[in-house]
Structure 1
Amino acid sequence: MKKITLLFITILLTQFSYSQGCPVPVITQWNMTNDGIDFNGTNDASVVGYELEYSSTTFTPGDGTATVYQFDSFPHTLSGLAAGTYYFAMRSDCGGGNFSDYIPSNDSPAQYTTSSCESLYSLPYSNDFEDFDAWQACNAYFDSDGDNNYWNNANFDSDGDGIADNRYAASYSWLNGTILFPDNWVIFGPIDLTNVNDAELTWKAMGGDPNWCSENYSVYIGTEPTVSNLLGSAVSFNETFPPGTPGPGGVSPEPGCGLFAERSLDISAMVGNEVYIGFRHHNVSDMFVLLVDDLAVTSESLGVQDIEQALMNYFYDDVTKAVTINSSNAPLSEIIVYNMLGQVVSEKTTTKSSETIDMSTFGKGVYIIKAFSELGTKTMRVINY
């Protein structure tokens, strides 16, 4: 039996069901925008249209309290929403008063937030998936196998404290007793590589259950957030995690198999472009779950001078939630802290050789710190606990 401590949070929980012969909508893409939704699905000849119900407060689908929005076919765009959080439910209209059940269910709607995403992410880019609103709104999702299972944002107990409070990107090849044959995509970006000479992509990945960890996945770098563009890219990565090593007490976790493995990909061939990163879970079935964390894109050419000339280091105090940056051969001039979306969360000018940044008011997750001196810059990656 495949077991692991996970709290599942799905992008779309659709179901295959029929109400009086009318099939439910089959959604293949759902992307929140600044003022609405871009979505796509599988059109069915027996369906004459669709009804999308939405409200800024939760409701029971069909109770008459939500706004009803009708459209004919997929793909479709709903626009004109004010920024905020909304609840959504959808059903198919087969004509003659014959409607399908609602998705995600007849009892409750799904919750999504309009996008507050950057139109273009600058370097350094980092994403630890802790921001659930950004996960919902700032990425594109494709279910190419059409089984209505997508990349999810999953809570996992990674520190053994009994609390599932560490979020990862997750895609399943087995779920709740059902064998899946995933071809699932999640696409991040656009990320600005127009002003650098080199770039590296790093991430962590693993098969979540050490007894069932042989997950297969690929990573693609392209110039459009589409499956066809990414598949045509010459810059890509693929791996299948090997089975875990059996031991006296069973299979022992090891990097890639029950423990995160660190991976990197030189994407310098894509410099000069605004790029998208596509993670694809595919060519696997009957394992359990592929988990990804700490996605980052950095460049050694971010500094204006030779980075090796600047002798700097840092110390993070996990009690006070503060980071101290030290420069041994030249005074610091500026320190900039970026969150996982590439947004500046702290900026300080100084003439000291040592500076402390209070991170106690920052959210938990990965931050990128750029420290400047007259001898150059240093980029440091710090995890705020």
Structure 2
Amino acid sequence: MKLLSTIVFAVGMCASVDAFAKTVTVGFISSLSGPISSLGIPYANGAIAGHKAIGKSADADIKLIRLDDASDPATAARNARKLINEDQVDVLMGTSGVPGTMAIAAVANESKVPFIAISPVANVSPATAQWMVSVAQPTELMINAVVDHMKAHGVKTVSYIGFSDAWGDLAYDALKKHAAQVGIELLNDERYSRTDASVTGQILKIRAKKPDAILAGTSGTPAALPYLELKKLGYKGKVYGTHGLINSDFIRVVGKAGDDILAPTGPVTVAEQLPDTNPVKKVALAYREAFQAAFPKGSPDVFSAWSYDAWLLLVSATAEAQKHAEPGTPTYRQAVMDAIFNTHELAGTHGVYNYKRGSPFGTDERARVVVRLLGGKWKLENE
């Protein structure tokens, strides 16, 4: 009986310890279906790779809950509310497009839950910026890189074609602003929907203007349309894109029509081509190993790398917050947000992160390079 009592006591102690084990709960929203699933699936894979590589924050386990927003901003907002109200998440992460990201940001701000965005953000009010940051580079930072490349290579006129949505507006606004600053004339602003099957009319209008260069403000597989049409019509000028092109599905769809596209991207895209002194190189190569461990048959990509960076930021901030509060409480959520805003020189795959209150962005010029697509591979451009 004494032995049995000891066993029962020991089991009871284990159960008690398990009952009070700390868990950080993370809600991750991504577009696993719908028009932007070619981005959403890699985003989700990056979070999975991060979770498998680093499954604890200090002495707390990390629980990852993943939901599909079906490429719909309204669904993204509903998912955010579900994760907050039903799952009591400590942190939100997501999603695959600007509209969905901003929908989640509104819910996070209202509920006072930290939100780490993995895609570019736009028109963030000071109030919203109190509860969100983005690991994605500011659109202006990236577009400025290709505009500077245009200027350095003698481009005097440029035409634009982009999505008829928030991402298309972001890219266009950045191009318009910096082109004017460096003396490049902007000739066209043509748009199309992500679901359109043809852009022949728009490209004919652009070709009639005879621009020195064309920038497409697009992303994912729908981004291939303008480049395919430009190739078909024999355009000979310089062709640029955004960092939304750095995607294996885009390369597959665009095929040979993609040769010589120039685009900005985070250093992770060409990690092995970086000098050893680059602070991103070691982390980027470690991410590739983590991704391959999680997905032996998959290929690391720029979108999953953003999620991996978000995971590194999450682990750092939630560990720091545990010094001040217990997970699962409003106090802890505030402590996590405080820790995020105090992040200093955190090396990721895309850049080195430094955050401060009032701005959702944490990267600088170390977070961008210009690459050229050749034979289905991105090559570091010698600017």
Instruction: Mark yes or no: TM-score above 0.5.
Output: no
More strand by share: 1
- TM-score (structure 2 length as normaliser): 0.23
If asked which structure has higher relative contact order (CA below 8 Å, sep 6+), I would say: 2
- TM-score (structure 1 length as normaliser): 0.23
